[in-house]
């Protein structure tokens, strides 16, 4: 009856990152850290997990002399996010 929830997206921080990225073209590390109120270390680990799953793409560049990390959601990430939302709706509608 209930669809399985993607365990990668079931994490609060990873879900927050995906929720932000689905609505924007790209977001940098500082913006994501501010919006999620995550520590830099925890956010970095979670972004790495999302990247390894193919849900986001990460580009590391420099803005002047400062390093800049930019994240974008991938088509696979959009599909996974949409499937996760649909699965959650199934849980909500079952009440």
CA distance 77 to 94: 26
Instruction: For residue 62, tell me if it sits in a domain.
Output: yes
Q: Which pLDDT score, from 0 to 100, does residue 42 have?
A: 97
Confidence band (pLDDT; 50, 70, 90) for 82? very high
Number of domain units in the chain:
1
What is the domain-level CATH number for residue 61?
1.10.10.10
Q: Is pTM, for the whole model, over 0.85?
A: yes
- Backbone torsions φ then ψ of 24, nearest 5 degrees: -135, 160
Q: Give the CB-side neighbour count of residue 26, counting CA atoms within 13 A.
A: 11
Q: Which of 48, 61, 57 is nearest to 75 (CA)?
A: 57
Domain that holds residue 54: 12-93
On whether residue 5 sits in a domain, the answer given is: no
Please write the tens of the pLDDT for every residue from 39-80.
999 999 999 999 999 999 999 999 899 899 999 999 999 999
User: Quick one: pLDDT at residue 2?
Assistant: 84
In a domain, 2, yes or no: no
**19 located within any domain:** yes
- Residue 70 located in a structural domain: yes
Examine residue 6 and state whether it is found in any structural domain, yes or no. Answer: no
């Amino acid at each position: 009856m209930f669809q399985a929830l993607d365990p990668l997206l079931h994490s609060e921080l990873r879900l927050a990152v995906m929720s932000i990225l689905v609505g924007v073209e790209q977001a940098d590390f500082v913006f994501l850290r501010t919006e999620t109120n995550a520590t830099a270390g925890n956010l970095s680990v979670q972004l790495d997990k999302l990247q390894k799953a193919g849900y986001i793409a990460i580009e590391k560049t420099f803005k002047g002399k400062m390093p800049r990390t930019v994240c974008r959601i991938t088509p696979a990430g959009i599909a996974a996010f949409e499937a996760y939302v649909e699965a959650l709706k199934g849980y909500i509608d079952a009440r």
